[in-house]
Amino acid sequence: MTIDAHPALPEFEYVQPPTLSEASGFLASHSAEARPFLGGTDVLVRMRDGFLTPKFLVDVKKLDGTSSLRFDPQAGLTVGAGVNMNRVIAAPEVRAHYPLLAEACQSVASYQLRNRATIVGNICNASPAGDTIGACLVLNGVLHIHGVDGSREEPLATFFLGPGRTTLRAGDVVTAIHLPLPPKGCAGRYLKLGRNKLSDLSIVAVTALGYPDPDLISRYRFRLALASVAPVPLIPAQAEAYLANQSITPDSIHEAAHLAAEACTPIDDVRGGARYRKAMVRNLSAKALNEIWERLR
Amino acid sequence: MAFHKVNVTINGEREQVLVPSNMTLMRMLRESVALTGTKNGCSAGECGACTVLLNGEPVNSCMVLAVECEGAEITTVEGLAGENQLHPIQEALIREGGVQCGFCTPGILISAHALLQRSPNPSDDEIREALVGNLCRCTGYVRIIESVKEAARRR
């Protein structure tokens, strides 16, 4: 008997439609058996392991505009679905205006993998652990989607329904993620706890963003997004609201971190236990908020 | 399953290869072109033993479909050395003892070569970061990192 530790990919057809409309049409008419294909860093592994068995992979990364990264000083940043993470990290506009996004991308796997992995792919996989999702959430990301009825925009905040489940319908192709210009004077931080220092999936991760907002009692707005602690990437709204209505002190940051941990509903799995995850969300939230507060004040 | 004709340049040589949809670049290199320097370690984008340059940038060739490589330029470990001259990173790895069993070495060489191209004098942290996707179970990495520094000095 021979044991094949690395079975080949199962059989499928590779399809490269020439236009977005044809891609949507093909995906809609083969809804149960076709998947859009970007960098493949997730879908190929899951196919090889037998968790996914699509008949068709529909390559959408070279279609109309999906391979461009555009920045407009008024409108903000639009990252095409086919733009790999190393390109995002290296882009001067990203470094200047969206360092939080670069920091999140930098934490993904390895340099080789980031030459293939894409932010839109990370979002569409809808893993609660997705490293780049938190930055896109706190920066108010909006997805550009092409479907059978044409194009539409959808806020990222309401996109996730569960692990691997999103509001996408048959025939939908996400063509880009748009991030509006970040608030003036903002500071952000992505803190990821993995089983090793570099390259692992997160046990938990915290994305935080803070910026001056004179309309608030605290005069500062803080945004938080938590990874790997709920069925979807989680925004702890109570913690955010609490900080908006307090003066920012070590005590109020401590309480907000506690509220963030209370918002989590983590599971026990191979990467960590639920209790540990909650405790680490509290610690990392406090650390991220304190670091940002030091930079803002 | 459909077969696709793929035109690629591998280590400077033009090739036309007939590949099925489900063939990865790694398998194409090893099985269709018989360049077995590229190793199959994990087939999951984790270990880096299959790292090659795709249009000048390192990728896990187990995570790329061969059919996606139409018109691409690929450099494998076989393409690093000159006619009668090893590549400086190859020489450094030999001299500094950065090779033990050798299975990870092709991927290490490609990743290190790509690093030195984008950053000719990398810091220790840069080297570690650049090689995080290349697992080695023999050396403990110290000598590999020393090798990259040595190659950078001699370039």
- Name the average pLDDT for chain A: 95
Alpha carbon distance A152, A149 (integer Å): 9
B→A interface, C-beta within 8 Å? 1-2, 4, 20-24, 27, 40, 42-45, 48, 51, 54, 57-60, 62-65, 67-68, 111, 114-115, 128-130, 132-134
Asked whether the predicted pLDDT for residue A2 surpasses 60, the reply is no
Find the largest Cα–Cα distance for chain B.
50
**What's phi and psi for A71, nearest 5 deg?**
-125, 135
pLDDT in tens, B18-27: 999 999 999 9
Q: Where are the domains of chain B?
A: 3-79, 88-154
Structure-token pair, residue A52: 């996914």
**pLDDT (tens digit, 9 = 90+) per residue, A164-199?**
999 999 999 999 999 999 999 999 999 999 988 777
Closest partner CB to A12 (pick from B22, B57, B111): B22
Measured in angstroms, the CA of A45 and the nearest CA of chain B are apart by 6
pLDDT digits (tens, 9 = 90+) for B82-141: 999 999 999 999 999 999 999 999 999 999 999 999 999 999 999 999 999 999 999 999
Q: Give me the residue label for tokens 């026990």.
A: A268
pLDDT digits (tens, 9 = 90+) for B73-82: 999 999 999 9
pLDDT band at A8 (very low <50, low <70, confident <90, very high): confident
For a pLDDT cut of 70, what percent of chain A falls above it? 98
At A268, which amino acid appears? D
Decide if A138 contacts A260 (C-beta within 8 A): no
Which residue on chain B is closest to A111 by alpha carbon?
Answer: B130
* Residue in B closest to A6 by C-alpha: B43
For the record, the structure tokens of A194 come out as 């993995």
Q: Residue B1 has what pLDDT?
A: 85
Contact across the interface for B27 and A8, Cβ inside 8 Å = yes
pLDDT at A4: 59
Q: What is the pLDDT of residues A234-243, one digit of tens each?
A: 999 999 999 9
B52 membership: H or E segment, kind and range: strand B51-54
pLDDT over 90 (residue A145): yes
Place of tokens 């009825």: A149
pLDDT in tens, A33-71: 999 999 999 999 999 999 999 999 999 999 988 999 999
Domain B3-79: give its CATH architecture. Roll (3.10)
Closest CA to A179 of A86, A92, A79: A79
pLDDT of A87 above 90: yes
The rounded distance, in Å, linking the Cα atoms of B57 and A112 is 8
Q: Which of B20, B42, B133 sits opposite A110 (nearest CB)?
A: B133
Name the CATH architecture for the domain at A187-296. 2-Layer Sandwich (3.30)
* Residue B61 clears pLDDT 80, i.e. is over it: yes
CB atoms within 10 A of CB B48: 28
Rounded (5°) CA angle A174-A175-A178: 95
CB-CB under 8 Å, A59 with B45 = no
Residue A160's beta-bridge partner residues?
A166
**What pLDDT was estimated at residue A235?**
98
Domains A69-179 and A187-296 share a fold: no
CB within 8 Å of B83: residues ≥ 6 apart: none
pLDDT at residue A6, as a whole number: 67
**Helix, strand or coil, per DSSP, at residue A241:** helix
CB-facing half-sphere around the CA of B117: CA atoms within 13 A: 12
Using CA atoms, how far apart are residues A233 and A52, in angstroms rounded to an integer? 22
Q: Number of helices (H) and strands (E), helices first, in chain B?
A: 5, 5
Per-residue pLDDT, A233: 97
State residue A3's pLDDT score.
Answer: 53
Best of B60, B62, B109, B136 to substitute, by most chain A Cβ atoms within 10 angstroms, is: B60
Residue-wise over B51-62: b if at least 16 C-beta within 10 A, else e?
bbbbeebbbbbb
- Of the candidates A11, A109, A110, the beta carbon closest to that of B1 is on A11
Structure tokens at A272: 């960590």
What type of residue sits at position A102? A
Cβ-based neighbour number of residue B108 at 10 Å: 28
Residue A197 has what pLDDT? 74
Q: Which pLDDT value is given to residue B48? A: 98
pLDDT at position A5 is 59
pLDDT tens by residue, A12-32 = 999 999 999 999 999 999 998
Q: What is the CATH number of domain A69-179?
A: 3.30.465.10
- Round to whole Å and give the CA distance between A217 and A260: 20
Domain spans of chain A, in order of start:
13-56, 69-179, 187-296
Domain covering B88-154 assigned CATH 1.10.150.120 in the classification: yes
The ipTM is 0.96
* pLDDT exceeds cutoff 90 at A106: yes
User: Interior CA angle at A115 toward A112 and A120, to 5°?
Assistant: 130
